[in-house]
């Protein structure tokens, strides 16, 4: 599966089979997470891999009993370690960059899981204090996300928002008409042409009808005339 295909077909999976996930696949997922971009390349994420059923059950309780966590065969708690970020970038490093670094690692893991034929879901709703206590997360680290993983037992679909609705050009709010031409999606233009061709075709046909009617009326008139007129000798 190529990268764009992987991005496009990844979905949040919340139902898993009971098949355990092989350790080497979990290792590949975490490796993908650790290869994400980070501010100044500080790689200040820390991953806690949870596979024990009892601990997954604890996690489920601290994730407001979300079924997806209960069903997961494994979970990865993505923590941000704030010391290096704060030392290098101050409050912005601690508050913003660490969150972003962990988010980029989390997305990498979701994509890796999908590429490996697994299902995964990003869990953000959990009791941070409880998770920190149960999993021994120190003061200078914070759990940012939990990735629930297993073999998928559902195949959800989704509607993507129109790209043109979220893309502005050069300043916030300024849109471009015919974005599809900019991104070279000519299918939209083909359809437009086809539709306008059909419309023109309909208009053209109407005109032909109109002229034909006029012509026939005229022809009829002159035929009648020729019948009424006496043939010239
Ligand atoms: C920051 C963040 C937190 C999320 N938290 C949860 C969560 O607690 N539980 C859950 O089921 N899904 C959670 N999700 C997954 C979103 O619901 C999901 O990505 C969204 O509905 C789009 O679906 P998709 O991932 O299939 O494209 C979270 C996603 C993000 C980015």
State pTM to two decimals.
0.81
Residues 163 and 87 in one domain: no
Pocket test residue of 122, 127, 149, 152 for ligand 1, highest count of atoms within 8 A of CB: 122
Clarify whether residues 63 and 140 are in a common domain.
Answer: yes
Find the domain containing 121 and state its range. Answer: 3-150
What pLDDT is recorded for position 227? 46
Pick out the chain residues at pLDDT < 50.
Answer: 227-228, 233
CA 102 – CA 36 distance, rounded (Å): 9
- Substitution candidate for ligand 1 out of 99, 107, 123 with most atoms within 8 A of CB: 123
d(Cα 73, Cα 124) in Å, to the nearest integer?
Answer: 18
- The total number of structural domains in the chain stands at 2
- Pocket lining: 122 vs ligand 1, CB cutoff 6 Å: yes
Show which of 93, 115, 150 is a domain's final residue.
150
Decide: 78 and 49 in contact? Cβ < 8 Å.
no
Residue 116 has what DSSP assignment?
T
Is 129 in the same domain as 167? no
Distant-in-sequence, close-in-space partners of 44: CB < 8 Å, separation ≥ 6: 38, 80, 81, 82, 83, 84, 85, 98, 101
Question: Do the beta carbons of residue 156 and residue 68 sit within 8 Å?
Answer: no
What does the pLDDT look like over 172-210, one tens digit per residue? 998 877 777 777 777 877 777 888 777 777 777 787 778
For ligand 1, atom 15, name the residue with the nearest CA. 122
Considering the domain architecture, whether residues 88 and 177 belong to the same structural domain is answered as no
Q: What is the CA radius of gyration of the chain?
A: 32
- The closest residue, in CA terms, to atom 14 on ligand 1 is 122
pLDDT digits 0-9 by tens, 23-35:
999 999 999 999 9
Same domain flag for 224 and 179:
yes
Quote the pLDDT of residue 225.
57
- pLDDT of 120 reads 98
Q: Are residues 28 and 137 in the same domain?
A: yes
Same domain, 80 and 133: yes
Task: Calculate the alpha carbon distances from 35 to 28, 29, 75, 117, 149 in Å.
Answer: 11, 10, 19, 20, 19
Please give the distance, rounded to the nearest whole angstrom, from the Cα atom of residue 93 to the centre of ligand 1.
25
The protein residue whose alpha carbon is closest to atom 23 in ligand 1 is 12
């Amino acid at each position: 599966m190529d990268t764009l295909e992987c991005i496009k077909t990844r979905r949040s999976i919340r139902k898993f089979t009971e098949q355990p996930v092989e350790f080497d696949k979990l290792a590949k997922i975490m490796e993908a997470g650790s290869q994400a971009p980070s501010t100044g390349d500080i790689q200040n994420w820390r991953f806690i891999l949870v596979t024990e059923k009892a601990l997954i059950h604890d996690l489920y309780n601290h994730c407001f009993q979300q079924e997806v966590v209960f069903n997961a065969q494994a979970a990865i708690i993505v923590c941000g370690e704030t010391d290096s970020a704060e030392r290098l970038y101050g409050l912005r490093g601690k508050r913003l960059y660490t969150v972003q670094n962990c988010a980029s690692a989390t997305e990498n893991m979701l994509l890796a899981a999908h590429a490996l034929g697994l299902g995964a879901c990003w869990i953000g709703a959990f009791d941070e204090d409880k998770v920190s206590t149960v999993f021994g997360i120190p003061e200078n680290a914070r759990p940012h996300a939990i990735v629930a993983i297993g073999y998928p037992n559902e195949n959800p679909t989704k509607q993507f928002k129109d790209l043109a609705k979220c893309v502005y050009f050069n300043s916030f709010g300024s849109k471009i008409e015919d974005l599809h031409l900019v991104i070279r999606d000519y299918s939209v233009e083909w359809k437009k042409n086809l539709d306008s061709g059909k419309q023109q075709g309909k208009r053209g046909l109407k005109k032909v009808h109109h002229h034909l009617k006029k012509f026939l009326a005229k022809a009829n008139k002159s035929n009648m005339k020729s019948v009424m007129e006496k043939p010239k000798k």
